[in-house]
A and B are shown apart, each in its own frame.
Chain A
């Protein structure tokens, strides 16, 4: 993935004022459009891998949810849907600013690119902040973290192991998603630096484009996680209610 993003960086300082074409074209490509399409396709293929990576988790979660519905409903009730909803809004906002940043590169507005990329990073960090310092902290205080401090509650009865299983998947899925967010923020900080130095132009913005694809993908994973974990059988969802 680093290679996809690093396209064009190689010859950066050789000809300061040379045209974007010769400057950004790697030697083994024939022309800019071939290079752009290759980078783009590479990211799409990578995302196909990611879909299967999360797909294995989603499949396992679905199997266990079907087997142990009462326990998973109890688990879902223990999550605070307000945090999940807030985070959903934050992430969709970050995808919007990411898309606008690419638009700014296409129209050649450097300051707008930098501003929008920084905004995307701030929103991504806000998501992680809500996740870690509110949600996970509450879970810790309520002894809901399997393998760390999980405690069976008497009112769960025979469902207690299944509640723990729900929280296993909750933490595995959300932490894998968070790792992807952190990688995305890392990519964005490199992009911001490149944008500030005027590396992108209407002719060349491949790194922005492919990183944008990645960012939107991570967003979409959350769009699936949110209903699956919080809403189905959750506090305000179908099949829920005490």
Chain B
């Protein structure tokens, strides 16, 4: 199909994007690269929907009495924002787009192990997303993204069932994606590509897949039990007939705390790639960074109780969950220190992806450290249920996961689209996002510390200054996200043609043309070197 690729000019070369045309060739594709693009379009749409909900909330909170909507509508806005952003954007974001695109390319395989299953995952995601969007349009839910009983059962008067079905269905998309990655990484690696030669992105995707496989089914059964309770009017979580609402919280957080690491672990993998590529150095302590992904995945299953310090679980359970939660800081810190050590004496260049990676390190560190406030029993009693929590997890999920996702999207965009994005605009957007993000969420730490509870449509007037700052930051952040949306679309047609390896980076994905041919590699590559095997920097060039 694509013989003598290098000699033929770019326009006439057959690659995965121009090998066939038409809606059908996309909707029935089993090419992991095309499926990655299907995901990219879908989750971008969901990101915009969730973002609109966030914008409406921030406009509403400019006035202490509420500027825009009724309190019921406000409840539905924050629920829609949380459900859509967590289950339909953040969880699939890096794994389903960059992971789908890159896992086979990085390990020298022609495709994922189960290509049809991969396409099925996308369709399952779409069905789940349609259910949820239908529910949001037809009345919405007011339970928050956590679906706590009895808000979602006895006292619910909103469309809990269709949303729950949507989340339940989408869970299977995650499970099948994780299954596909695990099998692919185990069985499809190119000759010579041993486990400790794998890019760290692959390690983090593998750890993420383990959480997909082991966590998501528990969320599925939890939502199933909730659905049974609603549909048959029995009391699994209803104390009136012997049920226990706390059981719902235990089951929910058994998935949903590991889910936080589903969101951040792939981001850590992306950042490892970016730091290595733009410092032109092997990641310092490669092995420890690889193992720390696994440590995070394993510990993540043992900390769910820290969401329940104030729910009346026993003090001993609280103590143990507190200690275990502190343990997560160790592998997380290993990663941060090792990235920083990689920068030391590196040949650093500040391309747009690198700006996102550096932003990630700073914001993730802040998110992680404020997490320790919440893992400590005494401070958590004061901070639980306040804006401090909101700020903390947005530093992890937006400042961490979304920054890494944006950085990865820029870094691999030449490979994905075959075109370069406008570099100046990309750097400007990265800075705008960083500034907008901090202005949005840093004031929320203050608000939470001062005692403003989350999920309230109104607040006392003394909190207005911080709320106005936050809303102003949100508008800057929104602009920061719109700029890349515009220039990515622009670059697909007008961007300069990208070479096979625009960054001079290491890794098998840069050895194939941009965009890659459908079968990725004409001949299965043989790997003879470590990951990130950058040439030593000549003495004179050290900074």
* Chain A interface residues toward B at CB < 8 A: 1-4, 6, 27-30, 34, 37-38, 41-42, 45-46, 48-50, 52-57, 59-60, 63-64, 67-68, 71, 146-148, 161-162, 164-165, 168, 172, 176
Contact = CB atoms under 8 A, between A and B. Distances in A.
Contacts of A29: 188
B179 A42 contact: yes
Nearest to A168: B234
Contact of B235 (A3, A148, A161): A161
Nearest to B209: A45
B4 to A, nearest CB: 21
Given A42-B113, A45-B179, A60-B225, A50 B217 contact: yes
Nearest to B254: A56
Given A3-B115, A28-B110, A172-B228, A41 B221 contact: no
Shortest Cβ-Cβ A-B pairs, 7 listed:
A147-B232, A53-B217, A3-B117, A56-B221, A28-B110, A161-B241, A28-B111
Contact of A3 (B114, B218, B221, B247): B114
B116 A6 contact: yes
B542 interface: no
B524 A147 contact: no
Contact of A41 (B117, B187, B241): B187
A41 B186 contact: yes
A165 B188 contact: no
Given A27-B110, A49-B175, A148-B232, A42 B220 contact: no
Given A2-B117, A28-B109, A52-B218, A165 B242 contact: yes
B120 interface: yes
Given A6-B116, A56-B222, A146-B234, A168 B183 contact: no
State the main secondary structure of chain A at its contact with B. Answer: helix
A43 to B, nearest CB: 9
Interface of B: 109-111, 113-117, 120, 175, 178-180, 182-184, 186-188, 213-218, 220-222, 224-225, 228, 231-236, 240-244, 247, 251, 254, 519, 524
A59 B236 CA distance: 13
20 contacts: A3-B117, A28-B109, A28-B115, A37-B187, A48-B213, A48-B214, A49-B175, A49-B217, A50-B217, A52-B214, A53-B220, A57-B225, A60-B251, A64-B242, A64-B244, A67-B244, A147-B231, A147-B233, A168-B235, A172-B224
A188 B65 CA distance: 62
A58 B186 CA distance: 30
Contacts of A147: 228, 231-234
A68 B213 CA distance: 32
Nearest to A169: B236
Contact of B234 (A68, A71, A164): A164
B99 to A, nearest CB: 16
A34 B114 CA distance: 12
A56 B218 contact: yes
Given A37-B187, A53-B217, A56-B217, A168 B115 contact: no
Given A28-B188, A53-B218, 19 more contacts: A1-B117, A3-B117, A27-B519, A28-B109, A28-B519, A29-B188, A41-B183, A41-B187, A46-B179, A52-B218, A56-B218, A56-B221, A60-B247, A64-B242, A67-B242, A146-B232, A161-B241, A165-B242, A172-B225
A38 B110 CA distance: 14
A3 B183 contact: no
Contacts, number: 122
B241 A49 contact: no
A37 B185 CA distance: 12
Contacts of A71: 242
A1 to B, nearest CB: 8
Nearest to A54: B221
Contacts of A41: 182-183, 186-187
A59 B244 CA distance: 13
B227 to A, nearest CB: 10
Contacts of B216: 49
B179 to A, nearest CB: 5
A178 to B, nearest CB: 14
Contact of A164 (B115, B186, B241): B241
A176 B224 CA distance: 10
Given A3-B116, A55-B218, A162 B242 contact: yes
Contact of A38 (B175, B183, B244, B251): B183
A34 B524 CA distance: 14
A86 to B, nearest CB: 27
Nearest to A46: B179
B248 to A, nearest CB: 9
B120 A165 contact: no
Contacts of A165: 235-236, 241-243
Contacts of B251: 56, 59-60
B122 to A, nearest CB: 13
Given A45-B179, A52-B218, A161-B242, A168 B228 contact: yes
